Amino acid sequence: MPSSDLRLPHPPRGAPVTLRFEGRDLPACEGESVAVALYASGERVLSRSVKYHRPRGFFCLDGHCGACLMRVGGKPNIKACLTPVKDGLAVERQNAFPSGGFDVLAAADFFFSSGMDHHTMMTSPRALNAVMQKVVRQLGGLGRLPDERPGGPPPLPAVSVRHVEVAVVGGGPAGLAAAATLARAGREVLLVDEQDRPGGSYLAHPSFGVPAADRAADEARAAGVELISRAAAISWFPEDAPKPGAPPGLLAVYTQAGLLELTADRYLYATGAYDQNALFIDNDRPGVLAARAVGRLLSRFGILPGERPLVLGAGPYAQALASALENAGAQVTRVDGIETRLLAAKGHSWVRAAELLAPGAKRAHRVRCDLIAVAALPAPASELPRQHGVPVELRPQGGGFACVVDADGASAIPKVFAAGDVTGFKGPEAARTQGERAGLALARSFS
Ligand code: FES
């Protein structure tokens, strides 16, 4: 495991801070998440899985896979990839005994490598079953209760109510372009984005990166868009009204200031797409990352993700990522996953090799690698617009269930639009173009 700092000499970083990781001080920089700071210091095991206690590292680095749950500041099950570092912040791995690095409960994975049906094990005699139930609870739990426990139920978050002309959900290429277009047309636009920094998939793409993300966000702000980061639109409630007498239907948004009940004359969903894994043995090992997570490490955070990465995927993103990694000094192996197949990741708490099957070969061969970047087609994040009534359809070429909209982004639901990867994965450039077009159509819809 590398002990040195993996941060590259660029880009400019935030002020240095110190993270308290299981009793040790680790260097971090403001602007990094806990997961990124730990990775940069060579720590890849962030947690242990439920039941089999397999080691877990982050996968998506985007808040959507749940692989990075840690105990942070005395609270369990916090997503390390979404938690900003702070000086002195205490971070621990959870769900392990005696430690996340060495977990004796991982014996379950060793002894039951073909699976364990704990419902039918040791059901008698009664005393043995009682012991078994205790062990199962220990294996199956996730985290311990918080250090600080108030006497009663925690207070409900503050609630505010807001109405705007246009609500845009998602601060990636499509959402930013649509919002800027609308604001230039004189519309009042509120854009909510769950990430700490706007830019979405720009920040994961080596050909775009921070400059493209900042440019798009600056243009939107300059046009008059109100942009709230770390604000997750959690649900559409069709039956609730923000106040008595108002028409039903509101968007619940979790912000750092509390819960926002948001209504709008028009809605635009630009919620992007989720990273997917590929099917191969041990694809859950630390060091198997979504390619866009690798792109974020490199392009947003200036961290060399690995010295011998293997990039799995045949599309243009895999090509762009492989080139960027090579330019950063890595020795890259490319596997298209079609002609040459990736059969298995090798390694326990750290990927050390991959087993490949070349075209026409009868036997697999191994290649050394310290990282597997999986460039599988991302799946449209269509749940929220679907709650709002927007129809979706299965489009395998678009990554999954995509919103059905016309060429202007209009859905079958009046005044509800969608644009970008949520309408079928298309990548940053095409998403931006679609967002602009949806913005123009939305602006026209007011006249
Ligand atoms: S949720 Fe944190 S890495 Fe996926």
Question: For the segment 259-278, what is each residue's pLDDT rounded down to a tens digit?
Answer: 999 999 999 999 999 999 99
Q: How far, in Å, from the CA of 202 to the mean position of ligand 1?
A: 18
- Do the Cβ atoms of 76 and 145 come closer than 8 Å? yes
Looking at residue 10, what is its pLDDT?
Answer: 66
Give yes or no for residue 154 having a pLDDT over 80: no
Lowest mean pLDDT among 76-80, 123-127, 134-138, 207-211: 134-138
Amino acid at 14: G
Nearest CA to ligand 1 atom 1: 63
Check whether 362 has a pLDDT greater than 70. Answer: yes
**In angstroms, what is the span from residue 328 Cα to ligand 1's centroid?**
24
Number of residues that this document lists for the chain: 447
Does residue 153 register a pLDDT over 90?
A: no
Q: What is the CA radius of gyration of the chain?
A: 23
Residue 219: helix, strand or coil by DSSP?
helix
Residue 217 has pLDDT above 90, yes or no: yes
pLDDT (mean) for 50-77: 93
User: Is-contact 177 189, C-beta < 8 A?
Assistant: no
Q: Helix 173-184 and helix 428-444: axis angle, to 10°?
A: 30
CATH match for 16-140 among 3.20.20.20, 3.40.50.1820, 3.30.470.10, 3.10.20.440: 3.10.20.440
Q: Which atom of ligand 1 is nearest to the CA of 293?
A: 3
| Contact residues for 87 (Cβ-Cβ < 8 A; gap 6+) | 17, 18
Contact call for residues 289 and 298 (beta carbons, < 8 A):
no
Tokens standing for 242?
């923000």
Residue range 423-438: mean pLDDT, rounded: 98
Query: What is the pLDDT, as a whole number, of residue 4?
Result: 54
For the chain, the average pLDDT equals 92
Cβ(27) to ligand 1 under 6 A? no
Choose the weakest-confidence range: 86-100, 264-278, 372-386. 86-100
Q: What is the pLDDT of residue 2?
A: 45
| 288-374: CATH, from 3.40.50.10420, 3.40.190.10, 3.50.50.60, 3.10.180.10 | 3.50.50.60
Angle between helices 209-223 and 173-184 (to 10 degrees): 30
pLDDT value at 3 more than 60: no
For residue 134, what is the enclosing H or E element? helix 126-140
Going by their DSSP bridges, the two strands 24-29 and 16-21 should be labelled as: antiparallel
> What's the average model confidence in pLDDT over 423-441?
98
Do 183 and 224 form a contact (C-beta atoms < 8 A)?
Answer: yes
- The strand pairing partners of 226, in sequence order, are 190
Q: Which atom of ligand 1 is nearest to the CA of 59?
A: 3
What is the Å distance from ligand 1's center to 196 Cα? 14
Q: Global pTM?
A: 0.92
Rounded Cα distance between 90 and 18, Å, is: 10
**396 and 405 Cβ atoms separated by less than 8 Å:** no
- Segment 68-72 shows an average pLDDT of 96
Atom of ligand 1 nearest to the CA of 64: 1
Q: How far is the CA of 277 from the centre of ligand 1 (A)?
A: 13
Write the burial class of residue 383 (CB in 10 Å: 0-12 exposed, 13-18 middle, 19+ buried): middle
The atom of ligand 1 lying closest to the CA of 66 is 1
72 lines ligand 1 (CB under 6 A): no
Mean pLDDT calculated for residue range 196-208: 96
Model confidence at 41: pLDDT above 70:
yes
What is the pLDDT averaged over residues 8-23? 86
Cα–Cα dist 38/55, whole Å: 15
* CA atoms of 210 and 216, how far apart (whole Å): 10
pLDDT band at residue 214 using 50, 70 and 90 as cut-offs: very high
d(CA 142, CA 44): 19
Where in the chain are all domains bearing CATH 3.10.20.440? 16-140
d(CA 49, CA 40): 22
Residues 351, 307: Cα–Cα separation, whole Å: 12
Domain 159-274+379-444 has CATH 3.50.50.60: yes
**CA proximity to 228, closest of 268, 269, 198:** 198
Domain with CATH 3.50.50.60 in the chain: 159-274+379-444, 288-374
